[in-house]
């Protein structure tokens, strides 16, 4: 198994979520992390969701990124079955363009079962990847160095845009 292979799982409620979540997958790969990618629905395949959560830690997963739109119970339902950190990404499904429904479903977890909710949509998808990297970087010097480089490059891009205005 390659280094950092499948230590992060990216789970989404539907294949219709993939266009947004591809940004998360791509960002993880930028940091050398190849995630396990799954389509699992809290509502349509609740048994598979339960089995995934129950076995994630013993399968070597360290962090789960869970994305869903509409009622968006995926992140919370996984969080109830594992103590692995869950990063939730609320999505604006086509039937609910603003994604506020999914945001509230993802963020409003009862005390004792946290989900780290990101912003709605692509910004949240990208930040979920970066947040996962930040957690992993606490015990991985190479990842910590990559994060520092990422922040530096991001800063330089803004400065360049500023001087071009």
Interaction site with ligand RP5 (CB under 6 A): 12-14, 16-17, 41, 68-70, 91, 93
Q: Residue 111 phi/psi, 5° resolution?
A: -55, 135
CB of 93 to ligand RP5, least distance (A): 4
Nearer to ligand RP5, 49 or 133 (CB): 49
Nearer to ligand RP5, 44 or 152 (CB): 44
Round to whole Å and give the CA distance between 114 and 60: 21
Q: What is the DSSP letter of 13?
A: S
CB of 136 to ligand RP5, least distance (A): 25
CB of 30 to ligand RP5, least distance (A): 24
Instruction: Look up tokens 């799982």; give the residue.
Output: 9
Strands of the 116-117 sheet, one edge to the other: 34-39, 5-12, 63-69, 86-91, 116-117
CB of 3 to ligand RP5, least distance (A): 31
- Pull the structure tokens for residue 69: 């739109």
Nearer to ligand RP5, 128 or 137 (CB): 128
CB 67 within 8 A of CB 17: yes
Nearer to ligand RP5, 6 or 43 (CB): 43
């Amino acid at each position: 198994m390659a280094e950092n292979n499948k230590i992060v799982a990216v789970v989404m409620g539907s294949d219709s979520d993939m266009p947004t979540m591809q940004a998360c997958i791509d960002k993880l790969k930028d940091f050398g992390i190849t995630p396990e990618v799954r389509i699992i629905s809290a509502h349509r395949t609740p048994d598979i969701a339960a089995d995934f959560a129950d076995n994630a830690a013993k399968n070597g997963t360290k962090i789960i990124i869970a994305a869903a739109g509409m009622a968006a119970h995926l992140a919370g339902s996984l969080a109830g079955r594992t103590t692995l950190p869950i990063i939730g990404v609320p999505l604006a499904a086509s039937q609910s363009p603003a994604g506020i429904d999914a945001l509230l479903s993802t963020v409003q977890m009862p005390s004792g079962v946290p989900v780290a909710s990101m912003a709605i949509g692509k910004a949240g998808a990208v930040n979920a990847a970066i947040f996962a990297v930040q957690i992993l970087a606490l015990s991985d010097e190479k990842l910590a160095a990559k994060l520092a480089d990422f922040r530096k490059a991001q800063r330089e891009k803004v400065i360049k845009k500023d001087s071009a205005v």
